[in-house]
Amino acid sequence: MLIRKAEAYENGRQLKIRQEWVPIERISKNLIAEVVDAEDSHFYEHGGFSYDDMVKAIYINRLMNRVVAGGSTISQQTAKNVFCLPDRTYTRKLFEAYFTTLIELFWGKERILEVYLNVIELGDGIFGVEAASDYYFCSSAANIGKHNAKMLVNIIPNPRDYLPSDMYMY
């Protein structure tokens, strides 16, 4: 969040950060299910890393001759978002792997998911599902239905390029 604010400042604009932490019990089951299904369908089965998804991403990226697919799990994304800088280096990936192992060991799946859903970027200056639910739907994350959950999930791959008007195209 601080990095996004600094980036905006460097570009000559102010960025209002919207974020409100909510416990996982106050997040719609629809939203949780859609996020897990879209971002890491084997979340509850792996120990933080999906080697099949990593190999698949490497294959696709080599085939396309550029990075178009990622193989990160929700656990890896959480570790990156909470503990690492966003730079795309092998050093960051090593730290990400280290922290992924630790959070899998000490937090457990429910806490990892709770942290992920509260820090994920879902628009320019919008972090977490509660802030996104309020911003896009004037609703709490607890009340998000299946349709709106799918719309929020569509933002995850490119949250800063996403336009609120895109939401109504589905």
Please, are residues 146 and 29 in contact by the beta-carbon 8 Å criterion?
Answer: no
Round to whole Å and give the CA distance between 37 and 50.
14
Under-70 pLDDT residues of the chain: 68-69, 163-170
- What pLDDT shows up at residue 170? 46
pLDDT of residue 164: 56
Which CA distances in Å does 142 have to 3, 30, 131? Answer: 28, 9, 12
pLDDT attached to residue 168: 55
For the chain, domains (ranges, CATH) are: 19-169 (1.10.3810.10)
**129 vs 53: CA distance, rounded Å:** 25
For the beta carbon of residue 9, count every other beta carbon within 10 angstroms: 11
Partnered with residue 18 across adjacent β-strands are 126
What is the residue-wise DSSP string for 73-103? -HHHHHHHHHHS-S---HHHHHHHHHHHHHH
The packing angle between helices 29-39 and 146-155, to 10°, is 40
pLDDT at 78: 97
Question: In this structure, are residues 58 and 71 in contact, taking their beta carbons and an 8 Å threshold?
Answer: yes
